[in-house]
Amino acid sequence: MLNRNKNLLVHTTILYFCIHMKEKTSPYCHCLYYSANALSRLITKISDEEFAATGLTSSSAFIMMTVNNHPGISPKEISEIMLLTPSTVTRLLDKLAHSGLLTREQKGKNIFISPTPSGRELHQKIKDSWKRLYERYTSVIGEDQARKLTALLTEAYAKLS
């Protein structure tokens, strides 16, 4: 029964997404790969618009939230929290360090990342942007649908990885 309900929710979510696409319905909208990528492109565009007020991309803003919430965190831990490859995290950390928002401290073989005063000052602005992002997409798809979709995507990621 539980699997049947999950399958129904997955199909309902995909159908909802396909019906509400602004462009013509694609013959591929019933494909998880296609739908997930289309949604990813759209939510990234919306997210980058909301985080633009911080001067950061969405990914950099989430890195900064993670570092502000866990000063002294290692790049490996950031990678695990954010579900990003270590090379992607390194690239983002390089940009943020170059912008003066975080520091790297090496102790032996380990590297620890902490926010600078400028990085800490940006924290509230980042959180406000995240809140606006949430309000923006929930105003369209609803809070309940957003929670369900997020849970389904998280579960699918866990099963596929």
**What are the structural domain ranges in the chain?**
1-50+143-161, 57-121
Alpha helices in 20-161 (DSSP H): 32-51, 58-69, 75-82, 86-98, 117-121, 123-141, 143-160
Angle, alpha carbons 16-35-63 (nearest 5°): 105
Residue 9: band (very low, low, confident or very high) from pLDDT cuts 50, 70, 90:
very low
What's the pLDDT at 15? Answer: 52
Domain 57-121: top CATH class: mainly alpha
- As given in the structure block, the two tokens for residue 112 are 């620890």
Confidence band of 97 (pLDDT split at 50, 70, 90): very high
Given a contact cutoff of 8 angstroms between Cβ atoms, the answer to whether 113 and 74 are in contact is yes
Q: Residue 18 has what pLDDT? A: 56
Distance of CA 101 to the CA centre of its chain: 19
- Which string of DSSP letters, residue by residue, matches 93-132? HHHHHHTTSEEEEEETTEEEEEE-HHHHHTHHHHHHHHHH
How far is 12 from 27, CA to CA, in rounded Å? Answer: 17
- Taking the model in full, what pTM does it have? 0.81
